[in-house]
Structure 1
Amino acid sequence: MKRRNFLKSAAVSTLAAPAILRNTTTAAAGFEAEERELEITWLGGATLMLSCGDLTLLTDPCFGEGEQAFKMGDPNEMFDLGKGPNIKFHRRLTPFPGLQLNNVDHVILSHLHEDHFDQEAQRVIEKGMSLLAPEHELGVLSSKGFTNLTGLKWGQEHVLTKGKVKVTIRTVRADHSEDPQISKILGEGNGYWFTFEQGDWKKSLYWTGDTFPTDAVLQSLGSLGSPDIFIPHLGGVGLTGPLGQISMGAGHVVQFAKALNPGKILPLHHSTYELYLEPIYHLAESLQGESHRLDLVSEGTTLRYI
């Protein structure tokens, strides 16, 4: 069984419905944006809009809706590890809030499982869009017709600029399982540490990707300090399947938070899909009494970090 193909569907399906590109709502509607701030809009799953000045980044785009939101193997079902999982459609439980794709400058991919880059997003995103992804995934992306590709290895830094904004992106190791053998089956993914800068203003953000706080991951973060914003993937995916848990639960996020001491915690990769097994209230309960601020929002909400 090919490693990265373990959960993947064989091909991109052609969906009849076009992408729904509605305007997102904001938590502070009616107020003029400050010049130096980071706006983060959660669009469900692992999909974020990160906007700073004139620069806008989109993470792990997934646009599908309804009963057939995306097609992928089901890690929550029992299956023969030698044969692989049942490839099936997965249900989205919440509407996709929408976005304006022409405002996006770069797409950042943590990995290519279809719950992170679904068939609808692959269909509607222009093939010349700038995509930043794990280096070993460039061949797959090229085979899908994408032409503007940047590959990033663990520990590598990449700088993006637009107008007065500079973003330094450091690629961080992501372990998809606490079991090294299962991580090998699922394939390598990336987490990312972003440093947004405008003049003397600076804001740091750590987006974990699908990972656990393994010793190797924590070691790779050791020199980076405490992020202003910590964005973990939760959901407890795989708890009922033969792979075991392959996305974090509340306890893992608490472990990360104790190690990193972030200013804010903005959880995602929960609630949007039937695929996610652990309710998000587990994290709220687990963080009671902690000093970290939990920014728990619904899909389509924009938060402004000044």
Structure 2
Amino acid sequence: MKRRNFLKSAGATALAAPALLSATSSSRGNAPENETRLEITWLGGATMLIAFGGLTLLTDPAFGDGKEAFRMGDPNEMFDLSKGPNVVFHERLTPFPGVDLGRVDYVVLSHMHEDHFDQKAEQSIPKDMPFFVPAHDTARLSAKGFTNVRQADWGRSFVLNKGEVEISLKAIPADHSEDPEIARLLGPGNGYWLTFRNGNWTKTVYWTGDTFPTPRVLDAVRPLGTPDIFIPHMGGVGTTGALGQISMSAHHVADFVEALKPRKVLPLHHSTFALYLEPVAGLPAALEDKTHGLDLVSEGTCLGYS
């Protein structure tokens, strides 16, 4: 069975698809004028708006709401691995805060499982929107009619500019399971190391994607230094199913933190969907005395990093 087809939905579903989803207010600080500021708004799941100096990135867009938020195989059930899981609707437990797609300059995908790029997002995002996509998913995204697809191979870097502002993206390996056979079945995705620059001002972000702190991942990210902001995917997905665990638990995040010593930790990929089994509440205990810099926020919150 081909990778990504393993959990993917059987076909398009009849979901509403407005071209513009209304934005809602988020918690913002009052930054002084001319202050360089990186703003990250968590919209639930792995979806973020990352705004910096007039450039805005949208990550892993999942816009569905309610009991039938998106359709995908269920990795939390037991099933025959030779046949794959049952394809079902998955429930969103918290309201989608909304997003103004007119703000977005680029979409960055960690991979194309439907809790990361759902049917509503596929129908809503303009087909000429620039995407950064893992190598394995470029053909699939292009087949859906998207015309501005940039293949982000592991180790490849891209630089985005607007005036004096620069954002660089480097694709990092992401291992969807600690079991090599399951990881191959689910396929290689991406994490990203992002560097934000404005003159002498610099901020670094490591967004993990769906991965574990495997030797391959740590070998790729350690040489890049200490991230200012570490954004891990959690949720303990798969712990009750045939695949085994396919997203991190709190103790995996603690292992990452011990290895990388980030200045801030902003956990995502928890609480939003019924798919996610482990609550984020266990993270402070797992981090023990390393909880300084932990940002636990609700969907729709905008965090400013100066």
> For this structure pair, what is the TM-score category when the shorter chain's length is used for normalisation?
over 0.9
Listed one character per residue, the Cα deviations across residues 255-290 of structure 1 (whole Å, up to 9, x for unaligned) are 000000000000000000000000110112212321
Q: Which whole-Å CA distance do the structure 2 matches of 1:195 and 1:64 have between them?
A: 30
* Pair 1:127-2:145 in alignment: no
When residues 95 and 180 of structure 1 are mapped into structure 2, their CA distance, relative to the original with a 3 A threshold, is same
Structure 2 residue aligned with 1:265: 265
Instruction: Say how many residue pairs are matched.
Output: 306
Q: Which whole-Å CA distance do the structure 2 matches of 1:295 and 1:275 have between them?
A: 22
Q: Which whole-Å CA distance do the structure 2 matches of 1:203 and 1:124 have between them?
A: 31
In the alignment, residue 171 of structure 1 is paired with which amino acid? Answer: A
* Pair 1:184-2:194 in alignment: no
- 8 Å Cα contact 1:261-1:292 kept in structure 2: no
Listed one character per residue, the Cα deviations across residues 81-102 of structure 1 (whole Å, up to 9, x for unaligned) are 0110000000000000011100
- 8 Å Cα contact 1:24-1:301 kept in structure 2: no
Structure 2 residue aligned with 1:16: 16
Stretches of structure 1 lacking an aligned partner (at least 5 in a row): none
Shift of 1:30: 5.7
Structure 1 residue aligned with 2:233: 233
In the alignment, residue 204 of structure 1 is paired with which amino acid? Answer: T
Structure 2 residue aligned with 1:150: 150
Q: Which whole-Å CA distance do the structure 1 matches of 2:20 and 2:262 have between them?
A: 34
SS in 2 for 1:252: helix
Larger deviation: 131-140 or 33-42? Answer: 33-42
In the alignment, residue 229 of structure 1 is paired with which amino acid? Answer: I
Shift of 1:16: 3.4
Taking structure 1 as the reference length, the TM-score comes to: 0.97
Structure 2 residue aligned with 1:285: 285
Listed one character per residue, the Cα deviations across residues 85-139 of structure 1 (whole Å, up to 9, x for unaligned) are 0000000000000111000000000000000000000000000000110122111
- 8 Å Cα contact 1:14-1:123 kept in structure 2: no
When residues 29 and 202 of structure 1 are mapped into structure 2, their CA distance, relative to the original with a 3 A threshold, is closer
* CA RMSD between the two structures: 1.4
Q: Which whole-Å CA distance do the structure 2 matches of 1:294 and 1:147 have between them?
A: 38
Q: Which whole-Å CA distance do the structure 2 matches of 1:220 and 1:213 have between them?
A: 11
Larger deviation: 29-38 or 172-181? Answer: 29-38
Q: Which whole-Å CA distance do the structure 1 matches of 2:16 and 2:160 have between them?
A: 35
When residues 16 and 57 of structure 1 are mapped into structure 2, their CA distance, relative to the original with a 3 A threshold, is closer
Aligned residue runs from structure 1 range 7-156, under 5 A: 7-16=7-16, 18=18, 21-28=21-28, 35-156=35-156
In the alignment, residue 275 of structure 2 is paired with which amino acid? Answer: L
Structure 2 residue aligned with 1:224: 224
In the alignment, residue 117 of structure 2 is paired with which amino acid? Answer: F
When residues 288 and 20 of structure 1 are mapped into structure 2, their CA distance, relative to the original with a 3 A threshold, is farther
In the alignment, residue 170 of structure 2 is paired with which amino acid? Answer: R
